[in-house]
């Protein structure tokens, strides 16, 4: 079992509430608490709907068919639940999107428990759900709040109403709540895009693709570029597919936890990698991205990423590839590129 998050520890303080219940977990769940619920809390049944592919990977061994990954919850899958435990994400709009999707398909009278770190804005649950049920705080510990309510009215939910579009030059970018830089192109991605002075050729993999903006903009001006996009977020995956469709661009979009579901080799890997897991700073995904790149690049292929200038990626690139270049930088970001030679270095081996 992985270490439990503070939010899950608060949930366990109320384990008596879940005895004999059919519990549905959803939201920004970052540990394997549902896997221990059946035995330790004597829940009748435990199901999980997650929008994060790596969370699905973490839980599928224990829960098997009782964990579902996807943007929208399947009505038949969540139907048996008589209690919802929702983990509040850092985006209020993402929380509202997910909660309204779930509650539009769950029965009136279901118990709702919402938990989250105070700095995530979990207090907003009272206003987000005010038209559906009365919600009150029932616990506060580990800098988290736990709220409870009982659904009085199902919300109306139409996923099509949640889509937004913005333009990057002539490229239409489609996006959803919870997708990185939903309001417009972020300055880091802009710096990365502007680091390309010539059209790109060959097979390109965009990891942590978000709305698909990097691959879509580059492919629009690079007709000989073949793109594959991947992300762990179901919202990002659907947004990227919609972005490609909106611009009549061919490409494959897949769910993958960094390289977990990536096959083959590429001429270039690009990324604006995340350095947070929920609200917590985490370099794990970026480190996996760099260390694993050599196994997914052709000889002479490039890894090109943009990152906050203070993050310690230069040493990791040198340990993996032997050297790196800084192609562009400003006050906040740097664009790094490393090239795969014929004998890539093993980062586990030390210099003599």
Inform me whether the pLDDT recorded for 277 exceeds 60.
Answer: no
> Residues 58-73: what's their mean pLDDT?
96
> Residues 70-75: what's their mean pLDDT?
98
Q: For position 310, what pLDDT does the model report?
A: 87
> Residues 10-28: what's their mean pLDDT?
94
DSSP state of 297: E
Q: For position 6, what pLDDT does the model report?
A: 95
Instruction: Domain 4-149: give its CATH architecture.
Output: 3-Layer(aba) Sandwich (3.40)
d(CA 287, CA 240): 23
Burial, 328: exposed, middle or buried (Cβ in 10 Å; 0-12, 13-18, 19+)? Answer: middle
Tokens of 209: 């693709």
d(CA 63, CA 47): 8
Inform me whether the pLDDT recorded for 343 exceeds 80.
Answer: no
Nearest to 230 by CA among 199, 261, 201, 202: 261
Place of tokens 């590429």: 266
Instruction: Provide the residue ranges of all domains of the chain, joining segments of one domain with +.
Output: 4-149, 162-338
Q: For position 2, what pLDDT does the model report?
A: 59
Residue 8, CB-side half-sphere exposure with 13 Å CA sphere = 19
> Residues 53-75: what's their mean pLDDT?
96
For 162-338, the fitting CATH number among 3.40.50.150, 3.40.50.970, 3.40.50.2000, 1.20.120.1200 is 3.40.50.150
Q: Largest alpha-carbon pair distance within the chain?
A: 68
Q: Which band of pLDDT confidence, cut at 50, 70 and 90, is reported for residue 312?
A: confident
Say whether pTM exceeds 0.85.
Answer: yes
Neighbouring C-beta atoms of residue 206, cutoff 10 Å: 27
Inform me whether the pLDDT recorded for 159 exceeds 60.
Answer: yes
Q: Are 207 and 271 in contact (CB under 8 A)?
A: yes
Q: Which residues contact 162 (CB under 8 A, 6 or more apart)?
A: 97, 176, 177
Inform me whether the pLDDT recorded for 315 exceeds 80.
Answer: yes
Tokens of 334: 């740097």
Give the model confidence (pLDDT) of 82-126 as tens digits.
999 999 999 999 999 999 999 999 999 999 999 999 999 999 999
d(CA 309, CA 295): 26
* Least confidently predicted of 68-77, 95-104, 219-228, 309-318: 309-318
Q: Which band of pLDDT confidence, cut at 50, 70 and 90, is reported for residue 279?
A: very low
The fraction of the chain above a pLDDT of 90, given in percent, is 84
Neighbouring C-beta atoms of residue 232, cutoff 10 Å: 24
3-class secondary structure for 20-49? CCEEEEEECCCCCHHHHHHHHCCCCEEEEE
Q: Which band of pLDDT confidence, cut at 50, 70 and 90, is reported for residue 36?
A: confident
- Average pLDDT of the chain is 92
> Residues 59-83: what's their mean pLDDT?
96
d(CA 341, CA 242): 36
Q: For position 182, what pLDDT does the model report?
A: 82
Phi first, then psi: what are they for 81, rounded to 5°?
-70, 140
Q: Which band of pLDDT confidence, cut at 50, 70 and 90, is reported for residue 344?
A: very low
Place of tokens 């992985």: 2
> Residues 36-41: what's their mean pLDDT?
76
* Least confidently predicted of 95-99, 133-137, 182-186: 182-186
Q: For position 286, what pLDDT does the model report?
A: 86
Considering Cα of 295, then 298, then 304, then 310, what sign does the dihedral take? positive
Asked whether this chain's domains 4-149 and 162-338 adopt the same fold, the reply is yes
């Amino acid at each position: 079992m992985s270490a439990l998050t503070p939010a899950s520890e608060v949930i366990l303080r109320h384990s008596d509430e879940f005895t004999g219940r059919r519990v549905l977990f959803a939201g920004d769940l970052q540990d394997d608490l549902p896997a221990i619920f059946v035995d330790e809390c004597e829940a009748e049944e435990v199901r999980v709907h997650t929008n994060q592919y790596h969370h699905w990977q973490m839980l599928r061994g224990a829960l098997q068919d009782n964990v579902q990954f996807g943007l929208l919850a399947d009505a038949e899958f969540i139907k048996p639940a008589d209690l919802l435990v929702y983990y509040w994400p850092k985006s209020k709009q993402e929380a509202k999107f997910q909660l309204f999707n779930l509650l539009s398909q769950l029965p009136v009278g279901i118990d709702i428990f919402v938990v989250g770190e105070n700095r995530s804005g979990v207090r907003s649950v009272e206003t987000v759900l005010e038209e559906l049920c009365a919600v009150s705080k029932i616990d506060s510990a580990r800098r988290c709040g736990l709220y409870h309510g009982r659904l009085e009215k199902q919300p109306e939910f139409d996923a099509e109403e949640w889509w937004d579009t913005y333009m990057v030059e002539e490229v239409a970018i489609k996006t959803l709540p919870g997708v990185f830089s939903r309001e417009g192109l972020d300055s880091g991605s802009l710096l990365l895009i502007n680091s390309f002075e010539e059209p790109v050729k060959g097979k390109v993999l965009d990891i942590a693709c978000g709305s698909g903006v990097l691959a879509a903009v580059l492919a629009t001006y690079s007709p000989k570029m073949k793109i594959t996009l991947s992300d762990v977020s179901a919202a990002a995956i659907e947004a990227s597919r919609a972005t490609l469709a909106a611009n009549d661009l061919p490409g494959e979009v897949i769910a993958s936890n960094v390289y977990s579901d990536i096959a083959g080799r590429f001429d270039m890997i690009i990324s604006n990698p995340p350095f947070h897991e929920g609200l917590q700073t985490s370099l794990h995904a970026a480190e996996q991205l760099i260390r694993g790149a050599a196994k997914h690049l052709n000889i002479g292929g490039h890894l090109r990423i943009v990152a906050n200038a203070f993050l310690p990626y230069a040493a990791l690139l040198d340990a993996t590839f032997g050297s790196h270049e800084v192609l562009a930088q400003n006050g906040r970001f740097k664009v790094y590129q490393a090239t795969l030679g014929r004998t890539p270095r093993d980062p586990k081996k030390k210099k003599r």
